[in-house]
Structures are given as C-alpha cells and as structure tokens.
Amino acid sequence: MANETTSSTISELYTEIVAEALFVASEQSIMRNLVRNYTIVGGGKSVEVPIYATVSASAVNEATDLSNTAVNPSSVTITASEVGIMTTLTDLARNSASRNVAGDIGRLFGEAIAKKMDSDLSALFSGFSTERGGGAGNELTIQDLFEASADLRTANAPAPYYGVFHPKQIFNVKKSLTNTFVGRDTELSNEAMRSGFVGSIAGIQIFESSNISVDGSDDSIGGVFSQDALGVAMMQDLKIESQRDASLRADEIVATAVYGVGELHDSYGVKLTADSLAN
C-alpha cells in the first residue's frame, strides 16, 4: 500500500530533525561559549559553585611563625528549569512539501532554544553592580569600553574579557573608528562566536547579538565580563522527542532543554546601559 507510515520512515524523519537542531543550536548561541559551563549530574536539579575570596601573602621574618589565614569560600547555587517548544507535523504537510520539512523544523527549534539561552544569560548583565556608559538615551563610546576594562583589571578579574552588545548599541563605537578593528582572535574555535564577533578594544573581545533586549525607551544593557562572572548549568542539552497521533494523522514534535543560569562573581562584570536606536 502506498504512503504507509512505517517505523523506518519515521526514524529517518526524526534523525534529520535531531541532526539539524543540534547543529544550529551550537552555531547560534554566543553567550554559552563565553561563560563558565557546568553539568548537573548525580541527581538533583541544581549545582553549587564554591567562590573563593582572594588571599594575600606577606613578608615574614626568619624563625617567625606564619599567621593563620582562614579559607572560607562562599557559594552560588544555579538551579535548572525546563524550556521547550512543540509543533504538530501532519502527514499531508510532510509528504506534500517540496522542502525538507524535517530540516526546517530542526532549524526553527534549534534557533529558538539557542535564542532563549542567550537571552537568559544576557539578562544577567543588569545584575552587575559596577556600571559604565552614558546611561539611558546616550550612545556607547570607546571610552566606556576602556573604563570597563580598567574596572575588571582593578578587580583582578581573570582574562580573557568579553563584551556583548545589541548591534545598534555597539554601532556608535564601530562608527567612531577610522580603521577596521585590529587584534582579531583567529583562534576562536566556534564559528557561532565568529559570526557575531566584531573585534577587540581595550583587551575586550566584542560581540554583537540581537538577543540583547531593548526596552521601551530603545535602550539596552550590554555587558563586559570575565568568563568567571556568569555560569550556565546544563542538566539536559537540546533533545527532540516525538509522539504519534494516529487519529490526527500527525506527529507531535517536542524540543526541550533543561538548564539554569546565574551570576557567579559580581566584580568580574560591568554593565553598560546605552541607546540602541542610533544608526
């Protein structure tokens, strides 16, 4: 009988969806590659990250006992939660489409999960206590970036430093430069990072991402930070599942991920509020 839905045809369809979705999620997510990554294993849905305070050594005299230094780390707990998206693919839509429907669904799902993760991580910029930039309604400047870099160095934040901004927020900085950015890091291993990579200023690798939110006044909060400033804890990476609805002649396709995000070290990040309407 023609057009039967068999186990072999279904497995081929979902293999295409999984392959495309995993590829796109890796390519589109910028923030995940710039922050500290943890894996939640062994039960539970959270991970506790110990934070050690800076200690100092001092000069001592010969034959003199050293004073005891207490080491008492604090900790940050990152708790994971689910994000997901679902669609229903009918047999008729799949069989009559001229395009690869499985690949298209995979691309949409991968981009959606990646955008959600980037948005959750970049939303943490507003929590940084140190702030630079001209503030709401003012354009971002090169001086703002140098000041943010100085703040991180003063705080002994470990390099490298990253800056992530809305494309229109960073536009004035690009416009202010007479030459192209110098210091491109050709060792960046992830093509997703290259696609949003602008260049290096004041020792900061600058990225632009439309996943940075814009408020009602056309302002955005970007961030300059060390990798140790923020963290993402993965309990389950992107996963595709399906369920057959025979009476509907369709398949429900569900994409989920389970993760949490959190600020680890406040002084290792600087928020920069600036206008995102400039062009």
DSSP 218-255: SEEEEEEEEGGGEEEEEEEEEEEEEEEETTTTEEEEEE
What's residue 6's pLDDT? 46
Residue 2: the pLDDT is: 47
pLDDT band at 278, cuts 50/70/90? low
217: in domain = yes
3-state secondary structure at position 100:
coil
What's the rounded mean pLDDT across residues 34-44? 89
Residues 6+ apart with CB under 8 A from 212: 122, 164, 165, 166, 169, 220, 221, 222, 276
pLDDT surpasses 60 at 193 = no
Across 14-23, 107-116, 121-130, 197-206, the highest mean pLDDT is recorded for: 121-130
Task: Report if residue 255 sits inside a domain.
Answer: yes
pLDDT of residue 49: 85
Q: Report yes or no on 1 lying in a domain.
A: no
Which residues pair with residue 239 across a beta bridge? 256
| Most trustworthy range by pLDDT among 87-96, 134-143, 230-239, 269-278 | 230-239
Inform me whether the pLDDT recorded for 9 exceeds 70. no
Hunting for tokens 């998206």 — which residue is that? 85
CA distances from 185 to 158, 182, 188, 194, 260 (A): 18, 9, 6, 9, 29
Domain residues for 176?
Answer: 7-51+73-275
Q: Is residue 131 part of a domain?
A: yes
Tally the domains of the chain.
1
| pLDDT tier at 181, thresholds 50, 70, 90 | very low
Report helix, strand or coil for 174.
Answer: helix
Q: What is the pLDDT of residue 12?
A: 66
Q: What is the CATH number of the domain that holds 224?
A: 3.90.1690
Per-residue pLDDT tens over the stretch 53-92 = 777 787 888 878 878 877 777 888 999 999 999 988 888 8
Pairing of strands 230-245, 204-208: unpaired
Q: What is the mean pLDDT of residues 41-53?
A: 83
Measured in degrees and rounded to the nearest 5, phi and psi for residue 12 equal: -65, -40
> What is the rounded distance in angstroms from the CA atom of residue 250 to the CA atom of residue 269?
48
Q: 181 lies in a domain?
A: yes
The confidence score (pLDDT) of residue 177 equals 66
pLDDT tens readout for residues 225-252? 999 999 999 999 988 888 888 988 888 8
**Per-residue DSSP letter, 267:** G
67 lies in a domain? no
- Residue 242: its pLDDT value, please? 82
pLDDT score for 4: 47
Give the model confidence (pLDDT) of 150-164 as tens digits.
999 999 999 999 999
Collect all residues with Cβ–Cβ distance below 8 Å to 87 and sequence separation of at least 6: 105, 252, 253
What are the start-end ranges of the E strands in the chain? 36-39, 46-51, 74-79, 81-90, 130-132, 161-165, 197-201, 204-208, 219-226, 230-245, 250-263, 269-275
| 61 domain residue, yes or no | no
57 lies in a domain?
no
